[in-house]
């Protein structure tokens, strides 16, 4: 018990770095996924080819190797070294963004053809079609997969300890080295990762329910009807 009490501040500091990398990586991956996914669903063959090249390259490259390349190899070519946290965010965001782009493209293609035809009949521009009709429906289909990708990115952040980022895994390794408590050190790391994952799962489920409710797939919660003032007065008198 003393081990966990003494090590708690270290794990909290490690969790701060894990959350920073997870949130930053998710923001980058989401921006890339939306942009590349939309490009991959357009009619332009050149844009689709560009999106396909990005997806195939970064989906086929290991995130760990990409992170090593950004942190160790790129300085030899450019003379500029990235900060470890930024290199980790960039590597994970580029990698997960490729998977997210396919999720976005698939969700857009899954919108019924009749919806596209209706937007054409209403003489809506391409931007209006995407913003008002297509993306709101596709968004609800994207979220479950996005939730899985968020958890995968969070778990993938465990490798950032290899470039000296003081995340949860780095803290566990340091405590194992200095205290010899291998079981306790990594048990605490497992619990910390699990708690963080459950927080992200809960947030993504709330987002899914909100998106489905806006589309009318989940009925809105009925509001309680306020009692008339006269009825309340009669009840009090009785």
pLDDT digits (tens, 9 = 90+) for 46-99: 999 999 999 999 999 999 999 999 999 999 988 888 999 999 999 999 999 999
**Range in 86-90, 124-128, 208-212, 219-223 with the lowest mean pLDDT:** 219-223
**Helix H segments across 157-223?**
168-179, 182-214
Q: Are 165 and 86 in contact (CB under 8 A)?
A: no
Q: Are 105 and 35 in contact (CB under 8 A)?
A: no
| Confidence at residue 116, expressed as pLDDT on a 0 to 100 scale | 80
pLDDT at residue 226 above 60? Answer: no
| Confidence at residue 112, expressed as pLDDT on a 0 to 100 scale | 84
Kindly state the tokens that stand for 44. 């332009």
Whether 191 is in a domain gets the answer yes
Whether 227 is in a domain gets the answer no
pLDDT at residue 154 above 80? Answer: yes
Indicate the pLDDT class of residue 217, thresholds 50, 70 and 90: low
Q: How confident is the model over 173-205, as pLDDT tens digits?
A: 999 988 888 899 999 999 999 999 999 999 999
- DSSP annotation of 140: H
Kindly state the tokens that stand for 105. 């493209």
What is the domain count for the chain?
Answer: 1
Question: In which domain, by residue range, is 178 found?
Answer: 2-220
Indicate the pLDDT class of residue 167, thresholds 50, 70 and 90: very high
Residue identified by tokens 């966990």 is 4
Q: Are 39 and 103 in contact (CB under 8 A)?
A: no
CATH number at residue 188: 1.10.3720.10
Whether 225 is in a domain gets the answer no
Q: Are 153 and 97 in contact (CB under 8 A)?
A: no
Rounded distance between C-alpha atoms, residue 36 and residue 105, angstroms: 8
Whether 233 is in a domain gets the answer no
Whether 152 is in a domain gets the answer yes
Is pTM beyond 0.85 here?
no
Whether 232 is in a domain gets the answer no
- DSSP annotation of 57: H
CB neighbours of 186 closer than 8 A, spacing ≥ 6? Answer: 172, 176
Whether 231 is in a domain gets the answer no
Whether 203 is in a domain gets the answer yes
Phi, psi of 172 (to 5 degrees): -60, -40
């Amino acid at each position: 018990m003393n081990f966990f009490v003494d090590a708690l501040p270290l794990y909290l500091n490690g969790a701060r770095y894990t959350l920073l990398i997870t949130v930053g990586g998710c923001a980058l991956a989401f921006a890339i996924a939306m942009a590349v996914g939309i490009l991959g669903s357009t009619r332009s063959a050149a844009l689709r080819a560009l999106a396909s090249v990005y997806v195939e390259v970064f989906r086929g490259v290991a995130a760990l190797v990409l992170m090593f390349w950004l942190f160790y190899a790129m300085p030899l070519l450019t003379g500029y070294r990235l900060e470890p946290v930024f290199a980790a965010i960039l590597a994970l965001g580029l990698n997960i963004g490729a998977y997210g782009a396919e999720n976005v493209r698939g969700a857009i293609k899954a919108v019924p053809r009749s919806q596209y035809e209706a937007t054409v009949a209403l003489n809506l521009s391409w931007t209006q079609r995407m913003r008002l009709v297509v993306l709101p429906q596709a968004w609800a289909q994207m979220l479950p997969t996005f939730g899985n990708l968020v958890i995968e990115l969070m778990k993938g952040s465990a490798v950032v300890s290899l470039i000296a980022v003081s995340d949860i895994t780095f803290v566990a390794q340091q405590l194992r080295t200095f205290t010899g408590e291998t079981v306790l050190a990594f048990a605490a790391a497992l619990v910390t990762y699990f708690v963080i994952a459950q927080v992200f799962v809960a947030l993504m489920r709330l987002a899914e329910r909100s998106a489905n409710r806006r589309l009318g797939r989940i009925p809105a919660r009925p509001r309680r009807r306020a009692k008339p003032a006269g009825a309340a007065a009669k009840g009090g008198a009785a």
